[in-house]
Amino acid sequence: MSKIRTFCLALMLALSLPAVSIDLDSLTESIDQIIYDRLPDGTDIALMVYDLTNDTTLYAYREKVMCRPASVQKVITTVTALYSLGADYKFETTLRTSGSISENTLNGDLYLVGGLDPSLNEHELRSMVSDLTKAGVKRINGTLYADVSIMDSTWWASGWCWDDAPASFQPYISPLMVHQGYVGVEVKPTSKGQKPQVNIYPSNEYIKVVNRAVTQDNTLGPLTITRDWMHGDNTVIVEGNCKRRQSTDLSVVGSADFTFALFRQYLDEAGIKYGEYKWGECPSVARNISVVSHKLPDIIKEALKESNNLFAEAMFLQTGRIQQPKWVTFNSSAKYVQNFVGRKFGLFTSAYNIVDGCGLSMYDYSSPQFMVDMLTLIYKDKDLFPIIYKSLPISGVDGTLKTRLSDKATLNKVHAKTGSVTGSCTLAGYVRTADGRDLAFCIMNEGAIKMAPSRKIQDEICTVLCSLSSN
């Protein structure tokens, strides 16, 4: 919000209210005026504000209307994961065997077991190979397996947009996902008239490149970096005029295949010999040779602050595994979360529809009242509330609110989850008022094709809430 707008809003409040306090009637009038003045034609809004300190509703407008929550959905997923899995839960990727090691040979099968760990990176995958080397293994006298049996082969939830396929924010989800299921592509110009340099990160032999671009050739169109996503092909295609360095991220079709191929590449580089490799389930009697793990609070922080879809879906599917440990599906996970929310919090299932964990699905629906009810119940949990509160983006400080609400009146006073998909713009979380009260709120803008006007309304409402004082 500009300084001029902030000043005008403050002046409006000062003219209509006593100098040192804002009462309920004035709050209602101020928010009503923001909606009247700022809401773009063809859009609508639903919102609710609840005073957690005094246990009372401060403002409600169309609060029961079902809207698409977008990434606010991640709050539901996080709460379910914390209660169901526990704050000490770890996402693990393991290297296991039931064989024995003698004379630098592993006599038995080796299993790379996926655990839906969204944080697994190429350095950790390489470290698992290093653990084999440290154990003295130079040869595997058995079959090399990749085990992805905790999840079925459907990589997207119902209602995800098929034409978002090449984007890194919509990865092909599997239990084995190195580098969050995408590769970085960097294109750098060379000499005029020559092909530019193309680099893939992480460096691998799996992803192929077709480079049809030319450096500084103005007869060509703009540089494009993509892959043949319509046919599920991972080949990176670079075309056009390369005038300067450009980069992008592309999702990888078959993220488990990519991870397994990269693991075998690291085995080759380490000089570890192996024969047959394929997919298979690890026997329960196998023991760990190497373990890479990441704690749930770290997964939550990335899902909420950075709005990482993969991290939210990993939590979503892990909670589904409580009732379906093997071959878990998005549908079974949705059923678990939906039932859990109703059972744990007593919130009626008619007030929400849960399809995925991140809010990408066009079939996710909830209302401001539902979200505020959930935020209120979380607030009352003295053990889990601090984990969620510090993981939410903070106004003017970090995450997706780093560049929003950064004025003195709002800086560090709003902890809230942002959300945006075409047609919906949302914000839900907590506000600390000028007199020290805690508020829970949810704002859902519908029909929002352009996000900026909706975010401006949300920020102005939050500015009013932060200014509340009964002193």
Burial class (CB in 10 A: 0-12, 13-18, 19+), 55: exposed
> Among all chains, which residue has been given the structure tokens 């606010």?
72
Q: Is 343 within a domain?
A: yes
Q: Is 348 within a domain?
A: yes
> Which spans in 273-367 are helix H?
296-305, 309-320, 330-345
Q: Is 322 within a domain?
A: yes
CA distance 221 to 216: 11
Q: Is 93 within a domain?
A: no
> Among all chains, which residue has been given the structure tokens 């698992």?
128
CA distance 35 to 46: 10
Assigned token pair, 147: 């085990």
CATH number where 336 lies:
3.40.710.10
What pLDDT, on a 0 to 100 scale, did the predictor assign at position 7?
Answer: 36
Task: Please work out, in degrees rounded to the nearest 5, the angle formed at the alpha carbon of residue 135 by the alpha carbons of 288 and 178.
Answer: 55
- Give pLDDT tens digits for 302-312: 999 999 999 99
> Among all chains, which residue has been given the structure tokens 């065997």?
97
Q: Is 74 within a domain?
A: yes
Q: Report in angstroms the alpha-carbon separations of 80 from 73, 75, 339, 406.
A: 11, 9, 10, 31
> Among all chains, which residue has been given the structure tokens 């890479």?
292
What pLDDT, on a 0 to 100 scale, did the predictor assign at position 6?
Answer: 39
Residue 41 DSSP one-character state: T
Q: What DSSP line would sit under 380-392, residue for residue?
A: T-TTTHHHHHHHS
- Spans of the chain, pLDDT less than 50: 1-21
What pLDDT, on a 0 to 100 scale, did the predictor assign at position 346?
Answer: 82
The residue among 105, 127, 90 whose CA lies nearest residue 262 is 127
User: Strand runs (DSSP E) across 89-181, as ranges?
Assistant: 90-97, 100-102, 105-107, 110-113, 139-141, 144-147
- Give pLDDT tens digits for 174-207: 999 999 999 999 999 999 999 999 999 999 999 9
Q: Is 188 within a domain?
A: no
CA distance 102 to 107: 8
Give the count of beta carbons closer than 10 Å to the beta carbon of residue 291.
Answer: 15
Q: Is 407 within a domain?
A: yes
What pLDDT, on a 0 to 100 scale, did the predictor assign at position 471?
Answer: 66
Q: Report in angstroms the alpha-carbon separations of 212 from 187, 399, 403.
A: 12, 37, 38
Residue 192's contacts (CB-CB under 8 Å, 6 or more residues apart) are 215, 216, 217
Give the DSSP H/E element, type plus range, for residue 138.
none
Q: Is 374 within a domain?
A: yes
CA distance 396 to 59: 25
What pLDDT, on a 0 to 100 scale, did the predictor assign at position 23?
Answer: 64
411: domain range? 3-87+298-466
Q: How many domains does the chain have?
A: 1
